[in-house]
Amino acid sequence: MRSNFSLTKVFLAAALFCGISYSQNQTQTQPPAAVDPEPVMRAGVARGGAPRIYIDPQSGLESYVAAAVVKKHVPTVVTHDKADARFVLSGTIDRKTESTGSKVARCLFVYCVGMEGAQTVTVNLVDSRTQEVIWAYTVKKACANAYQSTAEAVAKHLKPFLEERPQ
């Protein structure tokens, strides 16, 4: 008898909970405002004053830079259409990989740090109207395949430049 009483309490509590949550869901009658996914363009500038940037192909680094721009909330819109872009981000990658012999020698006689090679990336932000370089940055990472880390460093340093630069 005692277990039936407890079971009845559980069922009543569940029914009460479901009734309350159902009534709370019914009070929301207005759907959330729709966000326009397509930014309005005017002369290489998207809605909100964010400039449009085209990233030149750079041995695969362009995908990492585009992702880092989104991740770091850089005030810009990355576009695949060079004609619509206000700025062009171009650069070079210099990768130095260590040979197997130099890796073994480094670990035996010195230490194993730096045996993954090195990567140096230099980027330039060019104004597409005037063809002037308005920002440049160089980053060196201790791994020859540090694309994500390198791209995030570029985005991190590009963000304050775009935030402080008057349109």
In this structure, is residue 6 part of a structural domain?
Answer: no
In this structure, is residue 62 part of a structural domain?
Answer: yes
Give the C-alpha separation, 9 to 46, whole Å: 59
In this structure, is residue 126 part of a structural domain?
Answer: yes
In this structure, is residue 121 part of a structural domain?
Answer: yes
Q: Which domain holds residue 61?
A: 43-164
Q: What does the pLDDT look like over 52-90, one tens digit per residue?
A: 999 999 888 899 999 999 999 999 999 999 999 999 999
The structure tokens listed for 150 are 């390198």
C-alpha torsion 23→28→29→33, nearest 10: -160
In this structure, is residue 60 part of a structural domain?
Answer: yes
Give the C-alpha separation, 127 to 165, whole Å: 13
* CATH label of the domain that carries residue 68: 3.40.50
Q: Distance of alpha carbon 71 from its chain centroid, rounded?
A: 3
Q: What is the domain count for the chain?
A: 1
Q: What does the pLDDT look like over 86-115, one tens digit per residue?
A: 999 999 988 777 666 766 666 666 666 556
- Does 12 or 77 have the greater pLDDT score? 77
In this structure, is residue 107 part of a structural domain?
Answer: yes
In this structure, is residue 3 part of a structural domain?
Answer: no
In this structure, is residue 157 part of a structural domain?
Answer: yes
pLDDT band at 23 (very low <50, low <70, confident <90, very high): very low
